[in-house]
Amino acid sequence: MSRKGALLRCAAAIAAAGALVGLIAAPAAAKPHHPGHGHHDDPIVIAHRGASGYLPEHTLEAYALAVELGADVIEPDLVLTKDGELLARHEPVLDETTDIAQHPEFADRKTTKLIDGVPVTGFFADDFTLAELKTLRAEERLPSVRPQSAAHDGEFELVTYDEVLDYVDDLDRKVITYPEMKHPSYYEDKGQSIEDALADLLEERRLDRKRSPVWIQSFEYQSLLNIAERVDNRIGLNIDGQGEIPDAQLDEYADTLDTVSLNKNRIIPRDANGFLLEPTDVVERAHDRGLDVHVWTFRNENQFLPADFRTGGGGAAWGDFAAEYELFYSLGVDAVFSDYPDKALAARDC
């Protein structure tokens, strides 16, 4: 096949919309990748909360679909239950991602708590035992944007990280899990330790080694230093926002971490209208210090894309997401977090 023909076929594969669940197949080019340390390998595709563009996030079904689509890594966010279990949920608050509102037996559990100093009202996972949480069902967090996923509301139960690890153990290929400890300071204020809960589980399952197929992440630097005292897994700091990361900070991270995981705007800032500005040199500077660079989050819909890549049809319509992948891949990032891992893989392999 000519180069032009190959590119046209790749473009068609990238542009193709996901089919109904059960019919989605990995693109032919999306061969399983075997991730390893080093920014000389192909970029790693991390399924952000599972294949969360297609199915309600942080369900076993969303993780399994991501694996079926060829993802290298699946990413469970972790919160604690009342009885200390690690539950796969994006936040301690259950309101936006479960059917808790349809359970009158739990109505008296609604409360207001401080998360990162901000009062939040809702139902909190740490006020429920795991047995109680197992009576809930997952719901799509963005139903107006992803109605195809919302069509599965009420079908899937909530899962623990232990159950996710059981699933991964039974696969016929290596898939890394990349748990994020959510709001460690929130639990510390309550007298709980999400770091100890995760370390205990990894030690029990003999997954606490440097080469274990488990990477650990958090937005709280101290939390990562704490868990590093107990386990030897690869560890990465999530950094939000936009703006320069000073060399002194990167030096410190290089001494204590393996990875910096950056908001896309840290690598390519956007102007007030959402258009891309000149890329920063943070990827190069991090690599010079031996740090891997992961970047988040890639989504297909116009409302999440830079203005440069938006197309017609409104915010929920898919824009030119392939161009965004191509741009970040060209900058040498080591991994991307994607809600649509098949599209990230197709763009990478094209």
Angle at 328 between CA 327 and CA 329, to 5 degrees: 95
Known catalytic residue at 152: no
**Three-state secondary structure of 37-100:** CCCCCCCEEEEECCCCCCCCCCCHHHHHHHHHCCCCEEECEEEECCCCCEEECCCCECCCCECH
Q: What are phi and psi of 30, to 5 degrees?
A: -85, 65
Which helix (H) or strand (E) element contains residue 239? strand 234-239
Establish how many alpha carbons lie within 13 A of residue 68's alpha carbon, considering only the half-sphere containing its beta carbon.
14
Handedness of CA 316, 267, 18, 46 (dihedral sign): negative
61 contacts: CB under 8 Å, gap ≥ 6: 21, 50, 55, 152, 155, 156
In the numeric block, which tokens belong to residue 42? 């192909």
For residue 297, say if its preceding peptide bond is cis, omega within 30 degrees of 0: yes
**One of 33, 58, 90, 152 is an active-site residue; which one?**
90
Known catalytic residue at 90: yes
**One of 33, 48, 58, 183 is an active-site residue; which one?**
48
Alpha-carbon dihedral of residues 213, 49, 98, 240, nearest 10 degrees?
Answer: 110
> Please, what's the b/e burial string for 206-235 (b: 16 or more CB within 10 A of its CB; e: otherwise)?
ebbeeebbbbbbbbbbebbebbbeebebbb
Catalytic residue list: 48, 90
